[in-house]
Amino acid sequence: MTKLSRGYPALRSVFIVGSSFCGSTVIGNVLNSHPQIFHAGEADRLSLFGRYQGVDAAYLLDSCALCGLEEHKHCPVWGNLPAAPATPQEAVALYGALMARAGKDMALDGSKNVDWLAYLHDHGLRNTKAILLSRNPLAFAKSHQDATGAPIWQGVETWRNIYSHTLRALIARQIPFIAMRHADLATNPDGFYGRILEFAGVEGAVDRDHYFNFETHALGGNVSAFLRYKGFDAGRYEARETREGRALGPTEIEEKQARQKRGTWQDTLWMETIPDGEAGAALNMPGMSDIMSLLGYSAYDLFMAKQKWRLTHAPGTLVRDGIKFLRRNLPGA
């Protein structure tokens, strides 16, 4: 174990906060292609910080997503980790010292957990900003259902609670933040990253088409964010996920590799799989419209986008649902 001083450099930190399944890791890896930015990934999962206990202990990490897949490779950032901090103030000092190992001007923390940012901020970390990143609530709910088996309404409720809490935490601490929607990557990727760089106070541009040629030491994250990197080994990755209690589906890696080879990204699975009635009921939960509007979403726009997609890609479902509606509402139909 190495010993670190209590002081830490005046490193600029930007935190990605919000929900899981929002694309934070791949967005962070693209930003990592900028010469001034180090994407740390989900730093709150480092075991030495002890943020996850009990059944959540499977989330703890001691190395980045790629270095551990290559035999005998020493991670220059997360290798030779020091002892766990004894106080919150020591945790802040340790956090700064670890981020400085990358030798960049700015650290990008993709933990997404606003309570982690609040903990560091409340115990002395300054010079911070936040990117409030989101997917629309129905897209999140579909991913949440695939991962947990929870019904769509429960996923939407989870989305509402996460973003309500995150907004309160940021505003109460007067932490500057920018709200970004992952869907905007599909329509204006250059503008998406340009807005983030401008907000972070960083000049220049990212290399979003070749980000995987830049060394990354991001902690955690979805497998799809690392498929294009030279150091990715599907067999070793799957074995590690299984060992840590996060087993992948039998064809998950192959499906995501095929999706990336097609070269296009569209967040449309929720449109195909969530029935209109279920979507409408979920979006009508108390407080949903307020949180959605604050983040730039409209229930009406989501519903119309869903119908437009179905009209183009699955017109038969519109006829089927129309017949079901008539049978439910018109006796004898």
Which residue's structure tokens are 């979003």?
208
d(CA 38, CA 44): 16
d(CA 164, CA 285): 14
Residue 231 has, within 13 A of its CA and on its CB side, a CA count of 20
User: How does DSSP classify residue 15?
Assistant: E
User: How does DSSP classify residue 303?
Assistant: H
Task: Please report the pLDDT score of residue 55 as a whole number.
Answer: 83
Q: Which residues contact 187 (CB under 8 A, 6 or more apart)?
A: none
Mapped onto helix, strand or coil, the DSSP state of residue 209 is coil
Instruction: Check if the beta carbon of residue 252 is closer than 8 Å to that of residue 242.
Output: no
Task: Please report the pLDDT score of residue 263 as a whole number.
Answer: 53
d(CA 85, CA 77): 18
Angle (nearest 5°) at CA 50 between 141 and 26: 40
List the end-to-end C-alpha distance of the chain, in Å, as a whole number: 75
Which residue's structure tokens are 């956090």?
95
Q: What is the dihedral of CA 270, 276, 279, 283, to 10 degrees?
A: 130
* pTM higher than the cut 0.85: yes
Closest CA to 37 of 213, 189, 224, 215: 215
Strands (E), 153-196: 177-181
The per-residue pLDDT string of the chain (333 residues; one tens digit each, 9 = 90 and over) reads 334 434 444 579 999 999 999 999 999 999 999 999 999 999 999 999 999 999 888 889 888 999 988 877 889 999 999 999 999 999 999 999 999 999 999 999 999 999 999 999 999 998 999 999 999 999 999 999 998 999 999 999 999 999 999 999 999 999 999 999 999 998 999 999 999 999 999 999 999 999 999 999 999 998 889 999 998 988 888 887 777 666 666 677 777 666 666 555 678 889 989 999 999 999 999 999 999 999 999 999 999 999 888 888 877 665 556 545 445 555 554
- b/e burial code for range 38-57 (CB count within 10 A of at least 16 → b): bbbbbbbbbebbebbeeeee
Instruction: Check if the beta carbon of residue 175 is closer than 8 Å to that of residue 121.
Output: yes
Query: What are the backbone dihedrals phi and psi of residue 265, each rounded to the nearest 5 degrees, phi first?
Result: -130, 120
Task: Please report the pLDDT score of residue 7 as a whole number.
Answer: 44
Query: What are the backbone dihedrals phi and psi of residue 191, each rounded to the nearest 5 degrees, phi first?
Result: -65, -35
The per-residue pLDDT for range 94-132, each reduced to its tens digit, is: 999 999 999 999 999 999 999 999 999 999 998 999 999
Which tokens go with 263? 């070269």
Task: Please report the pLDDT score of residue 218 as a whole number.
Answer: 97
